[in-house]
């Protein structure tokens, strides 16, 4: 990587053209891009209808492509489909039963290969098992599992019968898991006994036991026992693999309406409680299918690897539903990215001849720290396309990724989107020119702009609020049990969807994402609400008040710093700080533990009592604190 800042600046200001071999085989050629985009926004109904007819199987064709006004819009009205039919049955009926769906591996180098036919068999068996347990269309099922094939099977089995899955990231604590189970009123919880990370076993079932205690609506807990386990399961508990063995591999896909709900996924917001983002089937299936195909230029024989965990939206859209709908072979990896050594990911690309690799800036910066010698040990020549997701990809990391992983011979697509959007919103496509540090242009059918608080477009290269001006197929339809939180997306800068990110747009229409405008932190690509962390801090018996901010971090993007007012009689000590951090870990999980905690005498507040976090952040970073006329003291 170039260390001279002037050299980096020079490279950043260049436009990077994709390699000739990438352009030659691309679905969409550069000269087609602008006209196709124009068509997609001038006549979106015609554009999406054509793709829906060409790409997906519908049990019944829709009456109308889009109806209603935002926020209460619908896509493919009265259309009938099942997303698992498009992900599995459709490919098997076209002769691809024996094609690999997943190559599953881990930090020990173990390997399990699952074909599309085998995956359908497992999904149908579990779907029949869930029905036998009384799970019906519209019921909720919580899934708390590691990155193993059983997790994918669990998600698809729910979708097969019309039950909503609510996947909870395995890094969350028992308390955070319990909140999500309660909010969704999950009838069944599916888990595994453990995962292994950095050579150590992490117990999942123990967290589930604690989370479901005294929850009467949780009727069953299905447990995937892992190799070497032979636990005696107690009342309400069922063995995952035994359940599969007991049931038939034939289960017709439930005929679902395009606007029936598919899943709930909880994401951090600006208030203490995470939002249950709800996605429906038709538009989500179409948009994740098409973005997966076009943004990654995926072809039938490609080997694709998205490193995300299905506990987050990237895993939902671009490890499970999108790639399966397109019909490619995906890598599924369980473990840490740098264990047993910093070359483990590159060895997997070498071993399986991965063609498309999609990961996060946090991981890229981690590997930058380890240096170029690790990727140089492996043959990465199979790579054709690199992708980034989760947070803005800073120019230095963009260039390192491009030069040392892609060998300047791959297209690099930086993707901006959210849990709420369901799929890619701003990106380049592989055959199109890229600018380091800028996500790119709006995807087809996406009308994105950078505006001021009044909703007026700002001048080029001016910081403003990123908005989406028209509904797109995969947008969230509501927040579970909290429609008012959903409506806020559309009525804060009405009539646009407010993404909550600051951005700029240059003269060529390329958008650069600058980070969150609200009180949401992005730590290692994961969204964490300041209010969630503050609630966990003040629930400690020694803490009276708390405020947290995000600080720039070389690897994580942001790190968390907390400012605490402790109660009278408590001693400021290293032991107390350690105890408070352990408390946050128990309440939320390791990803939310502040790197720094500082005990203070007071917190800056407005006269109405609102903590002014921006003042804390400005003071911490040595910046101008701005207007403090509303400060209490």
| Domain limits, the chain | 5-442, 520-621
Residue 80: the pLDDT is 98
pLDDT in tens, 188-246: 999 999 999 999 999 999 999 999 999 999 999 999 999 888 888 888 999 999 999 99
Q: Do the Cβ atoms of 353 and 317 come closer than 8 Å?
A: no
Average the pLDDT over 566-592 and give the result: 89
pLDDT in tens, 136-169: 999 999 999 999 999 999 999 999 999 999 999 9
Residue 318: the pLDDT is 98
Is the pTM here over 0.85, yes or no? Answer: yes
Of 129-138, 174-183, 209-218, 389-398, minimum mean pLDDT range:
389-398
* Same fold for the pair 5-442 and 520-621: no
Model confidence band, residue 270 (pLDDT cutoffs 50, 70, 90): low
Q: Which residues pair with 112 in a beta bridge?
A: 104
Of 96-100, 362-366, 504-508, minimum mean pLDDT range:
362-366
pLDDT tops 70 at residue 6: no
Instruction: Please state which CATH class domain 520-621 belongs to.
Output: alpha beta
Residue 269: the pLDDT is 63
- Torsion on CA atoms 357, 361, 362, 366, rounded to nearest 10: 70
Residue 413: the pLDDT is 97
Residue 630: the pLDDT is 46
Model confidence band, residue 610 (pLDDT cutoffs 50, 70, 90): low
pLDDT in tens, 367-392: 988 989 999 999 999 999 999 998 88
Residue 7: the pLDDT is 65
pLDDT tops 50 at residue 366: yes
**SS3 of 190-235:** EEECEEEECCEEEECHHHHHHHHCCCCCCCEEEEECCCCCCCCCCC
CA gap 45, 42 in Å, rounded: 9
Average the pLDDT over 574-595 and give the result: 91
Residue 230: the pLDDT is 84
Q: What share of the chain is helix, strand, coil (3-state, %, to 5)?
A: 35, 25, 40
Q: Which of the two residues, 522 and 210, has the higher pLDDT score?
A: 210
Go through 205-239 and write b for each residue having 16 or more CB atoms within 10 A of its CB, e for each that does not. Answer: bebbeebbeeeeebebbbbbbbeeeeeeeeeebbb
Short-list 152, 142, 130, 107, CA closest to 315: 152
Q: How many CB atoms lie within 10 A of CB 271?
A: 15
Q: Do the Cβ atoms of 263 and 140 come closer than 8 Å?
A: no
Residue 227: the pLDDT is 85
- DSSP letters, 440-496, are BEEPTT--EEEE-TTSPBPPTT--EEEEE-S--TT---EETT-HHHHHHHHHTTTTS
Residue 628: the pLDDT is 55
Token output for 480: 């579970």
Of 322-331, 435-444, 543-552, minimum mean pLDDT range:
543-552
pLDDT in tens, 481-506: 999 999 999 999 999 999 999 899 99
Token output for 273: 């409680």
pLDDT in tens, 422-469: 999 999 999 999 999 899 999 999 999 999 999 999 999 898 999 999
pLDDT tops 50 at residue 172: yes
Residue 1: the pLDDT is 41
71 preceded by a cis bond (ω within 30 of 0): yes
Residue 535: the pLDDT is 78
Mean pLDDT over each residue of the chain, to the nearest integer = 92
Residue 492: the pLDDT is 95
Residue 373: the pLDDT is 95
Residues 6+ apart with CB under 8 A from 321: 83, 87, 284, 285, 288, 289
Three-class DSSP category at 625: coil
Q: Count the residues in the chain.
A: 633
Residue 242: the pLDDT is 97
Residues 6+ apart with CB under 8 A from 482: 275, 276
Q: Do the Cβ atoms of 299 and 326 come closer than 8 Å?
A: no
CATH number, domain 5-442, options 3.40.50.12780, 1.10.8.640, 3.40.50.10540, 3.30.830.10? 3.40.50.12780
Q: Do the Cβ atoms of 450 and 504 come closer than 8 Å?
A: yes
Token output for 474: 């995969």
pLDDT in tens, 38-80: 999 999 999 999 999 999 999 999 999 999 988 999 999 999 9
Residue 2: the pLDDT is 42
Three-class DSSP category at 161: helix
Model confidence band, residue 629 (pLDDT cutoffs 50, 70, 90): very low
Residues 6+ apart with CB under 8 A from 192: 145, 146, 148, 150, 151, 204, 205, 223, 224, 225, 226, 240
């Amino acid at each position: 990587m170039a260390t001279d800042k002037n050299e980096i600046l020079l490279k950043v200001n260049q436009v990077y053209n994709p390699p000739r071999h990438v352009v030659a085989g691309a679905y969409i050629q550069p000269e087609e891009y602008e006209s196709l985009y124009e068509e997609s926004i001038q006549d979106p109904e015609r554009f999406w209808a054509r793709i829906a007819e060409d790409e997906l199987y519908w049990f019944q064709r829709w009456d109308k492509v889009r109806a209603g006004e935002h926020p209460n819009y619908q896509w493919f009205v009265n259309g009938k489909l099942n997303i698992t039919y498009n992900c599995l049955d459709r490919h098997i009926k076209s002769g691809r039963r024996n094609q690999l769906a997943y190559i599953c591996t881990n930090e020990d180098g173990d390997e399990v290969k699952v074909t599309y036919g085998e995956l359908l068999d497992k999904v149908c068996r579990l779907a029949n098992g869930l029905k036998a347990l009384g799970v019906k269309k519209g019921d909720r099922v919580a899934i708390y599992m590691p990155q193993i094939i059983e997790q994918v099977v669990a998600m698809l089995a729910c979708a097969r019968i019309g039950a909503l899955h609510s996947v909870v990231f395995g890094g969350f604590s028992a308390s955070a898991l319990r909140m999500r189970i309660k909010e969704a009123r999950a009838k069944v919880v599916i888990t595994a006994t453990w995962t292994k990370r950095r050579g150590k076993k992490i117990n999942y079932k123990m967290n589930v036991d604690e989370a479901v205690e005294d929850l009467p609506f949780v009727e069953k807990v299905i447990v995937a026992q892992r190799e070497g386990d032979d636990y005696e399961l107690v009342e309400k508990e069922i063995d995952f693999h035994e359940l599969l063995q007991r049931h038939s591999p034939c289960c017709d896909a439930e005929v679902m309406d395009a606007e029936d709900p598919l899943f709930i996924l909880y994401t951090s917001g600006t208030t203490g409680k995470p939002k249950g983002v709800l996605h429906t089937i038709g538009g989500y299936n179409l948009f994740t299918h098409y973005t997966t195909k076009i943004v990654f230029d995926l072809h039938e024989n490609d080997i694709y690897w998205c490193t995300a965990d299905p506990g987050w939206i990237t895993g939902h859209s671009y490890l499970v539903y999108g790639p399966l709908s397109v019909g490619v072979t995906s890598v599924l990896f369980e473990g840490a990215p740098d264990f047993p050594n910093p070359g483990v990911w590159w060895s997997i690309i070498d071993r399986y001849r991965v063609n498309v690799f999609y990961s996060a800036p946090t991981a890229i910066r981690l590997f930058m720290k380890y240096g170029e010698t690790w990727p140089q040990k492996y043959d990465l020549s199979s790579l054709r396309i690199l992708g980034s997701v989760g947070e803005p990809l800073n120019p230095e990391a963009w260039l390192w990724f491009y030069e040392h992983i892609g060998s300047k011979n791959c297209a690099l697509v930086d993707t901006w989107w959210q849990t709420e959007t369901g799929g890619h919103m701003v990106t380049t496509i592989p055959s199109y020119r890229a600018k380091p540090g800028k996500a790119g242009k709006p995807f087809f059918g996406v009308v994105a702009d950078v505006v001021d608080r009044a909703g007026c477009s700002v001048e080029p290269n001016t910081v403003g609020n990123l908005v989406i001006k028209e509904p797109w197929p995969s947008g969230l339809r509501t927040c579970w049990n909290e429609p008012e939180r959903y409506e806020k997306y559309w009525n804060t800068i009405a009539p646009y969807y407010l993404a909550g990110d600051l951005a700029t747009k240059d003269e060529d229409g390329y958008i650069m994402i600058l980070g969150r405008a609200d009180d949401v932190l992005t730590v290692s690509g994961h969204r964490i609400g300041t209010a969630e962390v503050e609630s966990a801090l003040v629930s400690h018996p020694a803490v009276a008040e708390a405020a947290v901010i995000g600080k720039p971090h070389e690897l994580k993007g942001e790190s968390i710093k907390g400012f605490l007012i402790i109660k009278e009689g408590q001693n400021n000590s290293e032991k107390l700080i350690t105890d408070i951090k352990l408390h946050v870990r128990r309440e939320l999980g390791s990803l939310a533990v502040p790197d720094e905690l500082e005990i203070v005498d007071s917190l800056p507040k407005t006269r109405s009592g609102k903590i002014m976090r921006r003042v804390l952040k400005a003071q911490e970073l040595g910046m101008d604190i701005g207007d403090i006329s509303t400060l209490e003291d």
